[in-house]
A and B are shown apart, each in its own frame.
Chain A
Amino acid sequence: MIVVKNLRKSFGEVQAVKGVSFEARDGEITGLLGPNGAGKTTTLRMLYSLLPPDDGEILIDGLDPTRDAMAIKRTLGVVPDSRGLYSRLSARENISYYGELHGMNRRQIDQRIAHLTETLDMADFIDRRTEGFSQGQRVKVAIARAMVHEPQTVLMDEPSNGLDVMSTRALRDYVRGLRSAGQSVVLSTHIMQEVAALCDRIVIIAKGEVAADGTAAELLARAGCDSLEDAFVKLIGSEEGLLA
Chain B
Amino acid sequence: MRGLITVFRKEVRENIRDRRALFNSLLLGPLLFPLLFVGMMWFLESAEQERAEQALELPVVGAQYAPSLIRYLEQQGVVIQPEPDDPEAMVRNQETPVILRVLPEYPERWAEGLPAPVEVIMDPSRQESKTAIRRAKTLLMGYGQRIGSLRLQMRGISPQLAAPVMLKDVDLSTPKSRAILAMIFLPYVLMITAFTGATHLAMDTTAGEKERKSLEPLLINPVPRWQIMTGKMLTTTAFAMASLALTLVSFRIVLPYMPVGAFGMDLTLGLMTLLRILVVISPVAILAAALLTLLASFAKSYREAQSYMGLVILIPMIPSLIFMANPIRAEAWMMMVPLFSQNILIGEIIRGESIALSWYAMSVSSTLVIGIALAVLAATLYNRPRLIFSGS
Contacts and interface: CB of A to CB of B under 8 A. Distances in A.
- Does A associate with B in a complex? yes
Contact of B6 (A71, A83, A97): A97
B168 interface: no
Interface in A60-96: 70-71, 73-74, 76, 78-89, 93
Interface string A131-170: 0000000000010011000000000000000000000000
A62 B18 CA distance: 44
A243 interface: no
B222 A81 contact: no
Interface string B204-232: 00000100111111111111100000000
B10 A80 contact: no
Given A82-B215, A84-B209, A76 B220 contact: yes
Interface string A82-126: 111111110001000110111100000000000000000000000
A127 to B, nearest CB: 14
Interface in A22-70: 48, 50-52, 70
B216 A89 contact: no
A86 B16 CA distance: 13
A44 to B, nearest CB: 11
B14 A86 contact: yes
A64 to B, nearest CB: 15
B392 A103 contact: no
A80 B217 contact: yes
A153 B200 CA distance: 38
Interface in B128-150: none
Contacts of A142: 217
A93 B6 CA distance: 12
Contact of B18 (A70, A88, A103): A88
B220 A86 contact: no
Range class of the B interface residue count: 20 to 34
B126 interface: no
B155 interface: no
Contact of B222 (A74, A86, A89, A146): A74
Given A89-B14, A142-B217, A70 B222 contact: yes
Contact of B217 (A52, A88, A146): A146
A101 B214 contact: no
A101 B212 contact: no
A241 to B, nearest CB: 19
B10 A97 contact: yes
A52 B385 CA distance: 9
A82 B14 contact: no
B221 A73 contact: yes
Interface in B1-23: 2-3, 6-7, 10, 13-15, 17-18
A71 B224 CA distance: 12
A57 to B, nearest CB: 19
B220 A48 contact: yes
B388 interface: yes
Contacts of B13: 89, 93
A87 B220 contact: no
A101 B217 CA distance: 12
Contact of B213 (A73, A84, A93): A84
A81 B216 contact: yes
B2 A83 contact: no
Nearest to A84: B214
B199 to A, nearest CB: 18
Given A78-B217, A89-B13, A102-B221, A84 B388 contact: no
6 contacts: A81-B216, A84-B215, A84-B216, A86-B212, A101-B6, A103-B222
Given A71-B222, A78-B217, 19 more contacts: A48-B220, A50-B388, A73-B221, A74-B222, A82-B392, A84-B209, A84-B212, A84-B214, A84-B216, A88-B15, A88-B18, A93-B10, A93-B13, A97-B6, A97-B10, A100-B10, A101-B6, A101-B221, A101-B223
Interface of A: 48, 50-52, 70-71, 73-74, 76, 78-89, 93, 97-98, 100-103, 142, 145-146
6 shortest interchain CB distances as A-B pairs:
A84-B214, A82-B213, A84-B213, A73-B222, A101-B221, A84-B212
